[in-house]
């Protein structure tokens, strides 16, 4: 096991700790073979839950809209479902995806590659609801409060995040009550969650119960203490927002149970996967069978929806021997996945290329 870097003040051992295993068991990822599905089946979408999943009684639950607004309001689930609504596929990814592969390792939820999924979310657009409330002239941000409560680095809190008014105004931002044609399951935020397409998952607050318009920037723990890209503990860093590009492939052939090393038969082998970015469409996916020494372009499908991943594939002529399959994406803003990953204190946005060792025999 590699060396590790603890959060400030915490010492950690090089092996994965029981606490990390406990987090990994609660917050499962999407099995990579599910990349074959354009819409991730419910139950296969990754999960990230900081505290406990709250039990919500739909009869007494209400969404409150308050703060610097002319018309504070409160909605039942029925009230919300009577509003104009949309259904859209959105690819969501945890900002910590890839963290377990950083060296030195950063101790938190230990994702390898799998903290991603594409849900078909149904809900009302956020901005019209805020306009209904009448945002006052001195407002600067909108704070989204969840119902889940816990402690983190000694700070007791309710999960909350904010968006600036400009970000809240983006037409894609929605208040979702449905996933893949059904209600939101408890683990994904029942009865209502925010969905911020193109941004890492932390912005998409689950179990929403209050939306507060504020006149000062929000300084909550999840906004200012974590989810910042910092290269050293004294670096103020920058907040994580848009998803960095990533391509993942469905590991081909059959796996070894313990190592998950792949065994593939010689001959033509279909390598397929999905690619996405929060900075716009993916314009190129490349595949390597020699660990990144040489690359060829894969066939890439055009985007189907603005914030959903794109399918790609490549026919590989698998020759007997040992190979390392890799894939890498480039988005329309020109961002390319790194082959060497720069380090950061939170283990965020780790989007270096996936490497899948394969034995062809
Ligand atoms: N209320 C609340 N919202 C939350 C979280 C949380 O712990 N509590 N986790 C966030 C994080 S870090 C991510 S990555 C996404 C995960 O959403 P999912 O579990 O539906 O995939 O939810 C976000 N919203
Ligand atoms: Mo996350």
Residue pLDDT, tens place only, 281-334:
999 999 999 999 999 999 999 999 999 999 999 999 999 999 999 999 999 999
The pTM of this model reads 0.96
The residue-averaged pLDDT of 175-186 equals: 98
Which residue out of 41, 49, 110 has the highest number of ligand 1 atoms within 8 Å of its CB and is therefore the one to mutate?
49
Locate 292 and state its tokens. 């990144």
Q: Work out the average pLDDT over 238-251.
A: 98
Could you give the CA distance from residue 173 to residue 301 in angstroms, rounded to a whole number? Answer: 25
pLDDT grade, residue 2 (50/70/90)? low
Q: What angle do CA 306, 310, 311 make, to 5 degrees?
A: 160
272-302: b or e for each residue (b if 16 or more CB lie within 10 Å)? Answer: bbbbbbbbbebbbbbbbbeebeebeebebee
The residues whose Cβ lies within 5 A of ligand 2, an ion, are 48, 94, 201-202
**Residues 207, 54 contacting (CB under 8 angstroms):** yes
pLDDT at 32 over 60: yes
Cα of 94 vs centre of ligand 2, distance in Å, is 4
Q: How high is the pLDDT of residue 12?
A: 54
Fold for 3-239, please state it: Sulfite Oxidase; Chain A, domain 2 (3.90.420)
Please give the distance, rounded to the nearest whole angstrom, from the Cα atom of residue 202 to the centre of ligand 1. Answer: 5
Q: What is the pLDDT of residues 129-162, one digit of tens each?
A: 999 999 999 999 999 999 999 999 999 999 999 9
274 CA → ligand 2 middle, Å: 20
246-360 and 3-239 share a CATH fold: no
Residue 228 beta carbon below 6 angstroms from any ligand 1 atom: no
Q: Does pLDDT of 44 surpass 90?
A: yes
Ligand 1 within 6 A of 23 CB? no
Q: Which residues of 167-203 are buried (b: 16+ CB within 10 A; e: fewer)?
A: bbebebbbbbbbbbeeebeebbbbbbbbbbbbbbbbb
pLDDT of 10 reads: 47
CATH architecture of the domain covering 246-360 = Sandwich (2.60)
The response to whether residue 173 sits with its C-beta less than 6 Å from ligand 1 reads no
Task: Return phi, psi of residue 23, to 5°.
Answer: -65, -45
* CA nearest ligand 1 atom 2, residue: 206
Write down the domain spans for the chain: 3-239, 246-360
Q: Is the CB of 49 under 6 A from ligand 1?
A: yes
Output the CA 114–ligand 2 centroid distance in Å. Answer: 12
């Amino acid at each position: 096991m590699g060396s590790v870097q603890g959060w400030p003040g915490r010492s950690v051992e090089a092996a994965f700790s029981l606490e990390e295993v406990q987090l990994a068991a609660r917050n499962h990822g999407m099995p990579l073979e599910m990349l074959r599905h354009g819409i991730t089946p419910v139950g296969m979408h990754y999960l990230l839950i900081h505290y406990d999943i709250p039990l919500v009684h739909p009869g007494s639950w209400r969404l409150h809209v308050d703060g610097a607004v002319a018309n504070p309001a409160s909605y039942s689930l029925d009230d919300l479902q009577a509003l104009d609504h949309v259904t859209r596929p959105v690819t969501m990814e945890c900002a910590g995806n890839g963290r377990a592969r950083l060296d030195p390792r950063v101790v938190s939820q230990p994702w390898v590659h799998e903290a991603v999924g594409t849900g078909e979310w149904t809900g009302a657009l956020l901005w019209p609801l805020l306009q209904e409330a009448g945002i006052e002239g001195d407002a600067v941000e909108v704070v989204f409060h969840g119902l889940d409560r816990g402690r983190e680095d000694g700070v007791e809190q309710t999960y909350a995040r904010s968006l600036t008014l400009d970000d809240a105004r983006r037409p894609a931002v929605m208040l979702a009550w449905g996933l893949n044609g059904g209600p939101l399951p408890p683990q994904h935020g029942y009865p209502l969650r925010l969905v911020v397409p193109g941004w890492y998952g932390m912005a998409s607050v689950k179990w929403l119960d209050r939306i507060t318009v504020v006149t000062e920037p929000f300084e909550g723990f999840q906004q200012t203490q974590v989810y910042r890209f910092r290269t050293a503990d004294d670096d103020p860093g920058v907040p994580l927002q848009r998803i960095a590009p990533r391509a993942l492939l469905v590991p081909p052939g059959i796996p070894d149970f313990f190592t998950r090393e792949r065994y593939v038969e010689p001959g033509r082998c279909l390598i397929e996967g999905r690619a996405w970015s929060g900075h716009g469409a993916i314009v190129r996916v490349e595949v390597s069978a020699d660990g990144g020494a040489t690359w060829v372009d894969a066939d890439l499908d055009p985007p189907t929806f603005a914030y959903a991943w794109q399918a790609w594939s490549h026919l590989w002529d698998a020759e007997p021997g040992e190979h390392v399959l890799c894939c890498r994406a480039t988005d329309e803003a020109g961002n390319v996945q790194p082959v060497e990953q720069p380090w950061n204190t939170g283990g965020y946005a780790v989007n270096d290329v996936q490497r899948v060792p394969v034995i062809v025999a």
